[in-house]
Structure 1
Amino acid sequence: MGNRLSKIYTRTGDDGSTGLGDGVRIPKYDLRMHAIGDVDETNCAIGLLVTELPADDDLQPWLARIQHRLFDLGGELCLPDYELIKMEHVTELEQWLDQLNEDLPMLKDFILPGGSRAAAVCHQARVISRRAERVIAQLSAPDSGSQIPNVRPALKSYINRLSDFLFVAARVIARRNGGSEVLWQHGL
């Protein structure tokens, strides 16, 4: 999978192109590169969330696995036709979601990002993952305009489920230690 870099700068991108993992060069503005960047930004936001939570927080192992999966997801976008994200990874996220959601009260109101710094950071990761999801959905459309448009269904499902997971995780984090969620108040 890909080459290891011995030098960080190569000067090959000075012309506005970038290389995918298989050596194919595409414009830096290609929709595929937007998707890769949004997945990377999601991973960065989750990395920030990890630093906001106690080291022994029960979400830490899940977030670590998610960060590795996001790296795989970016790798799959970088290496078209390479399969790294599988439906079993989507199922795993769904199981975690079910566990987190089990003790939460039914959602009756819209929730504003906040409740605690960690919850707000988790919401930020959620909206970035939603952006990644939109770009990946656009990339997978037949008329995407990308030079390499194919995106496997498991990849699209994973990023969709991740944003759901982050929403529920933010609810859990906001309620921890006597905290509460910030509910939207119509007309305020």
Structure 2
Amino acid sequence: MTLPVDPSVLLPFLAAVILMEITPGPNMGWLALVSLSQGRTAGLAAVAGITLGLSLWMVAAAFGLTEVVMRWPALYQAIRWAGVLFLLYLAWDAWRSTDATARQTPEPALRRQLFRRGLIGNLLNPKAALLYVVLLPGFMRPGYGAPLVQALALGSVHIGVSIVVHSAIVLTASRAGGSLLTRQQSPVMRTLMALSLVAVAAWTAWETRL
């Protein structure tokens, strides 16, 4: 039976994606902020949204759709700056929120909101497309599964690693932020959250430049 991927590439590929995932980036910064200020459940909802966004980019790359983004610089830049503006919107939303509005938001609604924000933030992250377009072909070998099968198999490995790393960030940050949960809506905390998200937006703009 033909294996879907060359077994000799699995460890190098795993090492590459682990290194990428533990390198600080926008997802890591945003997840830490959410988990510090709103707790573990909120952070895990955000992880679910991020995972779906990455999975959609991975499937698009496997079918060759993300190459369109890479071949059209204007489209890449449009997605890139939309992502930056979305993070700035999150910063503004964090700054204007109040204790009253927080109490009025039921927990299920908050989880759905964070899920959507994680999803949208990653769909507007062209670096995810670049990752799959550049990384996957280097680990695909003739004589094994079809290119589509190899891309989906390797991409699934990356998705699994991202879930583990992102969940670890959430669990660590939520433990560290226990005392913050009771004062997250104070003016000082809102300002710190907003400024931190502005920093993440600037970081994203820098990291996604071509």
TM, length-normalised to structure 1: 0.28
Counting helix residues as a fraction of each chain, which structure ranks higher?
A: 2
**Structure ranking higher on relative contact order (CA contacts 8 Å, 6+ apart):** 2
Counting strand residues as a fraction of each chain, which structure ranks higher?
A: 1
